[in-house]
Structure 1
Amino acid sequence: MASNPYEVEHGIKPSAPRQTRRPDMSSFHSALHELLPEPSSSSSNRNVGPTPDALRSLFTLVLDQMTALRNQAPAGVDTELLQGLIEELVVDREHPDMKGFLTQDDLDALDRVPKKQLKQGELCPICTEAFLDDPYPLVVVLPCSDERIDPATGLTIHVKHEKHRFDLECVGPWLLSKGSCPMCRQDVNAEKKRKEIGNQERKKANAVDDEDEQDIVDGLYG
């Protein structure tokens, strides 16, 4: 019996399968490996893009998944978010482009939400199933944020959205093909990119300071 991702991460003995509308990520990953190069977080591999035909197949794979979730939704369930994702994937399939997609390493690095922090009745926005209906929920919170001005300093700060939580099985395929939050469409790696830019700017500033200091020393002893 195959283990679900939560059981794998926490070393739990595989449990009996239960009825769920959540997609099976194992089958998605099998198809993904057939379509795309081996995922990697390295910048060099990110620039090695898949072929347009492979992208069309990938978007079709995710589109079929989202369409099945919408069609299987119980009566009265709000499927507006799913419909929006489906419409976007239809456009992507016709005009394939892969910008900002996440790798498996990126998925593994997403913050997990402990079971004790989940509330009764809290739903995954994609499959609309309650997180706690699963005895071993694997829920991630995406690092989306709003820009605000800190009244104390006048500087721009980023305040995270704590509500953008999803079953990893539901949001994983979308992130691996799109890289944006299904709710607000922010680049999930935006914070990571901001930190990288900040680190680069600090390195440049330090290099300039070192050069200026060396010029002073040379002037004194030259």
Structure 2
Amino acid sequence: MSAGGYEVEHGIKADEAKPNNDSGRRPDLSTFYSALDQLDDSREARHNPHALPTPADLAALYDMLADAIALMQGSGDTHIEMIDQLRNLANNPPREVHGVPDSFLDALDRVPKKALKKDDQCNICGLPFLDDPYPLVVELPCHPSHRFDLECIRPWLKINTTCPLDRKDLMKKKTPPPPPPDDDEEDWDDQFA
């Protein structure tokens, strides 16, 4: 998150902001976001709209996020699959970054503080949500238990369109069920018979 982003996201003044980052488990991702901005897949954002990112640039981006998640993980091994997937993408980078747009992140359901339990924690950093006096927790649409600190899930979703837990594609539109058959037409048909 950019400088001052904590205050903006939480709607508080800078002097009120005291995020609990004393554990050192939430790394500064400003370099990651700078690299991501340079590799933005919206062609209008590039100086040369026909240029694609180089594989080395994409590999570095995936490596940066894998390193950040490994740092957040600490000594545990809860996110080995996420890190392995990012390392695999770094070794075999795609041609372009395929992540969710900011509008998707802005539309994610926010979990109110009163709905959080004391033992609820982020599925990425592992820190309890309520350790932060102003938790900004989002719930992914794939499952109600897939809750994350927005600061933790944002970088993953900026380069992946899948949930890090169940790998469901979050950008696929659900097809609505077909409408029920209209029984009213039979009533009208009987009147004209």
Q: What TM-score range do you get, normalising by the shorter chain?
A: 0.7 to 0.9
Q: Which has the higher helix share?
A: 1
Render the CA deviation track for 1:15-71: whole Å, top value 9, x for unaligned: 24531422435453233213335599xxxx9xx96432322121111111112223x
User: What is the Cα-based RMSD across aligned positions, in Å?
Assistant: 2.8
CA contact (8 A) 1:23 1:170 kept: no
User: Given residue 86 of structure 1, which amino acid in structure 2 is its aligned partner?
Assistant: I
Of 30-39 and 115-124, the range deviating more from structure 2? 30-39
2:87 is aligned, of 66, 86, 90, to 90
Q: Which structure 2 residues correspond to residues 53-202 of structure 1 after superposition, within 5 A?
A: 53-70=56-73, 72-73=74-75, 77=76, 79-80=77-78, 82-97=79-94, 98=96, 100-144=98-142, 161-190=143-172, 193-194=173-174
Percent sequence identity over matched residues? Answer: 43
Contact 2:108 2:139 in 1 (8 A): yes
- For residue 10 of structure 1, report the CA deviation from its aligned partner: 4.2
Contact 1:39 1:104 in 2 (8 A): no
* Distance change (3 Å), C-alpha of 1:114 and 1:26: farther
User: Unaligned 5+ residue runs, structure 2?
Assistant: 180-193
| More displaced 10-residue stretch of structure 1: 130-139 or 13-22 | 13-22
Q: What is the TM-score normalised by the length of structure 1?
A: 0.65
Q: Give the corresponding residue for 1:3.
A: 4
**Paired residues of 2:32 and 2:61 also in contact (CA < 8 A):** no
> What is the aligned partner in structure 2 of residue 33 from structure 1?
37
| Secondary structure, aligned partner of 1:173 | helix
Q: How far apart are the structure 1 equivalents of 2:104 and 2:157?
A: 9
Question: Structure 2 length normalisation: TM-score?
Answer: 0.73
Letter matched to residue 166 of structure 2: C
Task: Give CA-to-partner distance per residue, 1:108-127, whole Å, 9 cap, x none.
Answer: 12111111111111011111
Distance in 1 separating the partners of 2:123 and 2:131? 14
In the alignment, which residue of structure 1 is the partner of 2:13? 13
Distance across 2 between alignment mates of 1:62 and 1:39: 23
Q: Secondary structure of the equivalent of 1:180?
A: coil
Output the amino acid matched with 1:170: C
Aligned equivalents of 1:177 and 1:136: distance in 2? 26
- 1:47-58 pair list within 5 angstroms: 50-58=53-61
Q: How many residues align?
A: 166
SS in 2 for 1:69: helix
Distance 1:4 1:111, change over 3 A: same
8 Å CA contact 1:131, 1:167 repeated in 2? yes
Query: SS where residue 194 of structure 1 aligns?
Result: coil
Alpha carbons 2:40, 2:97 under 8 Å: kept: no
Q: Displacement, 1:3?
A: 2.9
